[in-house]
Amino acid sequence: MSHNQVALKGIDLIRIFHLGDQEVHALDEINIEVYQGELVMLLGPSGSGKTTLLHTLSGLDAPDRGEVFVDDVSIYKLNDNKLSHLRSRSFGFIFQSFNLLPNLTALENVQIPLRITGQPNPVERSMEMLTRVGLSDRAQHRPGQLSGGEQQRVTVARALVSKPKIVFADEPTGNLDSVTSMEIMNLLQEMVHENNSACLMVTHNAELVPLANRVLNLRDGKMVNK
């Protein structure tokens, strides 16, 4: 796949939150394109709209105005079932708080996206992914038995097992120490490039910036540079 192929496009995105009598413009006419194979970081102070933009681009929160395109499909024109299907097929998610189901083993957690979409050989493919992230010997362990770094590796494996077009990561290293953070980031970068996925990541951690192909700064809901 060409590096220049647009994986995701947001046009004139506006998102307004109403807090009592006040209107907060979380996104103020944002235009953004993310290309296949690139890792894009969203930086900005707290309240700048990074997470809101991530949620809007990933189909989790419809904008008040504007559109989001994936493969020339305006995703918010899809009904909930089709949007859920799109997310399960084409998107991978990595959250700050790991979010593994506590009563499932690491292997079962990784299988979730494959089982949702009914893809073949979920066990084998998940095991391959766990091996890739260095946790093949921990496959039968539950999240409570894994360290923070190990849990985040499982989350990375889950996000990438279905070879998604786009990976959305919201502060993936927020709960990790600096050494583990770098390990996770290096792993993510490798795997994203291997699969030629696009990756859009929100982070506060300026140390991770060198790993990005592109850095976007947000301030008060606006893109200040590209």
Partner 1 sequence: MFKLSVKLIQWNLTRNRLQLLIMVLAVIGSLSSYVLLGTALNAISAEIVQSQRDDWPFDLTIKAPTEDEKNKIRQIEGVYHSEELKMEEVYFYSNTVIALGTPEEETALILELESGSLPQNDDQVTIPGEVSRAYNLSIGQKILLKIATTISAGKEFEIAGVFSTKKGVTKTFVVTNAAINQLNMQHSGSSLVIQLDGKADLQKTYYKVLDINPKLVVTLDSAGYENAQVTGTISDSLIKSLRFLILAISATSLAVLFYLSQRSGAYQTGVLRAIGVKRFWLLLPPLIQICVVFLISCGTAYILLPILSQILGLNEAGGANLSSVGWDLLVFFAIGLLSTIAVNLQFLHRSIPTLFKDTW
Q: Which residues bind partner 1 (CB under 8 A)?
A: 51-52, 55, 58, 60-61, 80-81, 84-89, 91-93, 95, 97, 99, 101-104, 108, 111-113, 115-118, 158
Nearer to partner 1, 95 or 214 (CB): 95
Q: How far is the CB of 97 from partner 1 (least distance, A)?
A: 7
Q: Which is nearer to partner 1, 82 or 226 (CB)?
A: 82
Note whether 36 and 85 are within 8 A (CB): no
**What are the C-alpha distances in Å from 26 to residues 9, 47, 79, 188, 201?**
18, 8, 24, 28, 18
Least distance in angstroms from the C-beta of 75 to partner 1: 13
Task: Select 19 or 179, whichever has its Cβ closest to partner 1.
Answer: 19
Q: For residue 135, what are the CA distances in angstroms to 149, 155, 180, 201?
A: 11, 12, 14, 23
Q: 117 and 111 in contact (C-beta within 8 Å)?
A: no
With 0-12 CB in 10 A as exposed, 13-18 as middle and 19+ as buried, what is 206? exposed
Minimum CB separation of residue 194 from partner 1 in Å reads: 20
Q: ∠ CA(59), CA(64), CA(66), 5° rounding?
A: 75
Residue 102 or 210 having the CB closest to partner 1 = 102
Distance CA 125, CA 104 (A): 17
**Choice between 37 and 92, CB closer to partner 1:** 92
How far apart are CB 165 and partner 1 at their closest, in Å?
A: 13
